[in-house]
Structure 1
Amino acid sequence: MKYLFIVNPVAGKGEGLNYIQEIKKLFKEEEYYIEVTKRKGHAIEIAKKYSSESDYIIYAVGGDGTVNEVVNGIVGSDSSLVIIPTGSGNDFIRTIDPNYKKKDFLHKLIGGNTTLVDIIKINEKYFLNIASVGLDADIVYNAIAFKKMKLVKGDMAYIFSVAKTIFGKKGIPLKVKLDGKEIWDGKVLLLAIANGKCYGGGIKITPNAEIDDGLADVCLVENSNLLKIFRLLPKLATAKHTESKEVIIYRAKQIEIEGENIFRVNIDGEIVESDRLIMQVIPKAIKLVIPEN
């Protein structure tokens, strides 16, 4: 078997680079390659190049964005995905290993089992974890802007962004269809389409989602006033938001979202803009290595 390690050198302040010497030690008897990404989208190119030439076990060494790029590079191939989480959020890994610890994690992966899991196609791209519209997408977008300010450091960017976004939030007018049936026409505070359970650094937005059931879990939060938003936020942290009457959970194979105007979309941590999204669950589309218990 051939092994490929795609390392994002900036994820988690360069934590992925610390794995290189351990990789060389553990795989010295194997055929392996290490590639360090140099720009956005580079992991897609690397994964696509190698998996088109042969079948590889491909390790994505980085955060959820790196994992997303590798997924888009191996779709349609027989290569397998392995995740070494070194980013700031590392949300998808919480779905397959809720109690993961970075120490000795590489050893757990070497002894892991390979299984087939779903992915979701969104327009012309794919994602493994969660795509969302509304409050959280705007928080991520605004945080990027705050991070560019010299006096704003670390988590302060997200704190400022949450405050700015919540107090300025008006809801997004959307039409939503699930499996061809219109289920919503109005303003939403947040809309998440999920394959995995967690996003935003561990928030279980869809706590009952499964990665191999052929369905996406859809969490729709109705547009709410500030008081209701502040009541909802603590529930999000404890996965009890699904008990709120403003929150509706659906399951579907196909999701269509149409906006009156262009809106922001958070796809596994990447922000894009669109006025129409078509999503389709692709069942058991890629091979994923689950860490050894």
Structure 2
Amino acid sequence: MSLKENSHTSSSWFLIVNPNSGVRNFSKAWNRIQQILKHKEIDFSFSLTQHSKHEISLVQESLKRGFRKIISVGGDGTLHHVVNGIMTQRYVKTSEIKLGVIPMGTGNDWIKTYQIPNSIEKSIDVLVEDHTEYQDIGLINHTNNQKEYYINVAGIGYDGYVVNKLNSLKKFGPIAYLLSGLYGLLFYKKTSYQIKINDQLIEEKCLMVLFGLCQYSGGGMQMTQDPDPKDGLLDITIAKNFSFFDLVFNLPKLYNGQIVNHKKVINYKATSLEIQENKEQHSYIEADGELLGKGSLNVSIIPNAIQIIIPATQ
């Protein structure tokens, strides 16, 4: 861990930096980030992650030391773990924490909802402007009462299967999402679920169930209907018994957002969600592109949980 010592005031930034993010030349990108921050006379400290989920403890330690502006430097996975660090710490109310992003990942899906530029220089400009809004955070309670927070989109079924496969394809960059998706189309077997939404019980054989807060996932796909990250509601998408040809024919609609209008897709808004899977099948669960495990789950929402730094035009 590398820390730059300075006066730890609430106006200082603390950067959580993932050297294994999707950027091709990390050292060059990281040096550029530091140069820009110093040129703009921004007071900052930083730490590099050294292992999986290291972000969680690094965030907690920085908050303990008095930092209140946390910057995630990496991709959606880095952001996911930073959020979990914020939501599980006990030093300060989460709503008093400001969270920003300098994107360096493979997908960078969360930033698309807020039109944060996928550029080091321009994303730092957004951080300097320091315009904030509150965002809701989702909470998943899953296998053996494990809890996981998420900031973008989560799901069970096909998308979890795709994320599991994606780990071996990330070396291909952004196209890895498409390759993993095509693999899933060929080999994923649909699962029967009991789904409870707003006290309504649905039994359905599904390709997947998504429960999102924001608009984009899976490398730019749009599978949530009119999401509002600050309305206190989960945007739930149930993709029913799609065939291989259904998915191939409708592939463009996954990226232009029209898939939510398909006759085999049902959309809901709710404050909570429960999913019980068929005991003979165990589906992968993913959140923000991170694999959580397999099994049944329940999801709730924490309104106005964190202040996020986004462009002032939002």
TM-score for both structures, normalised by structure 1:
0.90
Contact 2:102–2:124 under 8 Å retained in 1: yes
Contact 1:131–1:268 under 8 Å retained in 2: yes
Q: Write the letter of the residue equivalent to 2:194.
A: K
Structural mapping, 1:89-128, within 5 Å: 89-97=107-115, 100-102=117-119, 103-123=121-141, 124-128=147-151
280 and 36 in structure 1: CA distance in 2 versus 1, 3 angstrom threshold:
same
Contact 1:216–1:251 under 8 Å retained in 2: yes
Q: Write the letter of the residue equivalent to 1:56.
A: R
Per the alignment, residue 165 of structure 1 pairs with 184
Say which of 145, 157, 160 aligns to 1:137: 160
212 and 242 in structure 1: CA distance in 2 versus 1, 3 angstrom threshold:
same
The farther-off stretch of 100-109 and 35-44 is 100-109
Structural mapping, 1:53-72, within 5 Å: 53-72=65-84
C-alpha displacement at 1:25, in angstroms?
A: 2.8
Q: Does 1:51 align with 2:69?
A: no
Per the alignment, residue 25 of structure 1 pairs with 39
| Secondary structure in structure 2 of the residue aligned to 1:281 | strand
Q: Percent identity?
A: 28
Alpha-carbon displacement from aligned partner over 1:18-48 (angstroms, at most 9, x marks no partner): 31222233235x3x21111111111111111
CA distance in 2, matches of 1:204, 1:279: 20
Per the alignment, residue 269 of structure 1 pairs with 289
Q: Write the letter of the residue equivalent to 1:128.
A: I
TM-score for both structures, normalised by structure 2:
0.84
In structure 1, stretches of 5+ residues that fail to align are none
Say which of 212, 217, 220 aligns to 2:230: 212
Q: Considering fraction of residues, name the structure with more strand.
A: 1
In structure 2, stretches of 5+ residues that fail to align are 1-10, 88-92, 142-146
CA distance in 2, matches of 1:158, 1:95: 18
CA distance in 2, matches of 1:113, 1:106: 12
Contact 1:7–1:16 under 8 Å retained in 2: no
Q: Does 1:284 align with 2:296?
A: no
The farther-off stretch of 231-240 and 126-135 is 231-240
Contact 1:214–1:253 under 8 Å retained in 2: yes
Q: Write the letter of the residue equivalent to 1:61.
A: V
Alpha-carbon displacement from aligned partner over 1:119-176 (angstroms, at most 9, x marks no partner): 00111110000111222221221232456xxxx8556755553333212232111111
Structural mapping, 1:176-215, within 5 Å: 176-182=195-201, 184-215=202-233
Per the alignment, residue 9 of structure 1 pairs with 19
253 and 20 in structure 1: CA distance in 2 versus 1, 3 angstrom threshold:
same
| Secondary structure in structure 1 of the residue aligned to 2:14 | strand
153 and 235 in structure 1: CA distance in 2 versus 1, 3 angstrom threshold:
closer
When the two structures are aligned, how many residues end up with a matched partner?
A: 285
C-alpha displacement at 1:262, in angstroms?
A: 2.2
The farther-off stretch of 157-166 and 7-16 is 157-166
CA distance in 2, matches of 1:69, 1:130: 14
